[in-house]
Amino acid sequence: MRGSLQAYKRVSVDSQLTSASPHRVIQMLMAGAIERLIQGKVSMEQGNIAVKGERLGKALDIIICLRSSLSMEDGGDIATNLDALYEFMIQQTYKANQENKPELIDDVIDMLREIKSAWEQIPAEFHNITQFEM
């Protein structure tokens, strides 16, 4: 049953991505990173090392992807600040994983939620811009 649910979720995400605006793709990435961080934290607290590593690894992949999508040339101070925040999140996640400190994951989740909230405030007329100028 669990395998069927996972397959359904993958198909659902894939279908959303094919029709998503660049703005929506970033929203989905942020939501995915937050979800993986929460799962990693719970696994850490439960002592499930394998799942912790897998979930935090996926969260890191997403945060690295978000960071690499920044347009440093066009984004000015916002892109520079986001770059520094993403770098901090990456380092905190590595440290939390290595030292088994779930409170560090909480900090990363809080930061991502704030960025996601700000991202969601962008007016709809800017949602289909293909270059991520932040």
- Domain boundaries along the sequence of the chain: 22-118
Residue percentage of the chain with pLDDT more than 90: 63
- Taking the C-alpha atoms of residue 55 and residue 53, their distance in angstroms, rounded to an integer, is 6
Over residues 93-111, the mean pLDDT reads 97
Structure confidence at residue 3 as a pLDDT band (50, 70, 90): low
- Taking the C-alpha atoms of residue 97 and residue 28, their distance in angstroms, rounded to an integer, is 23
**pLDDT reported for residue 117:** 95
Answer yes or no: is pLDDT of 110 > 60: yes
Over residues 89-115, the mean pLDDT reads 97
CB 13 within 8 A of CB 28: yes
Between 1.20.120.340, 1.10.10.10, 3.20.20.70, 3.40.50.620, what CATH number should domain 22-118 receive?
1.20.120.340
pTM of the model: 0.81
What is the crossing angle of helices 72-99 and 22-46, to 10°?
10
Over residues 2-16, the mean pLDDT reads 56
Q: What is the mean pLDDT of the chain?
A: 86
CA angle 61, 39, 68 (to 5 degrees): 15
**pLDDT reported for residue 133:** 44
CB 67 within 8 A of CB 108: no
Over residues 113-133, the mean pLDDT reads 78
Which ranges in 1-134 belong to alpha helices (H)? 2-19, 22-46, 49-68, 72-99, 102-120
| Residue 105 burial by Cβ neighbours in a 10 Å radius (0-12, 13-18, 19+) | buried
Answer yes or no: is pLDDT of 85 > 90: yes
Answer yes or no: is pLDDT of 39 > 60: yes
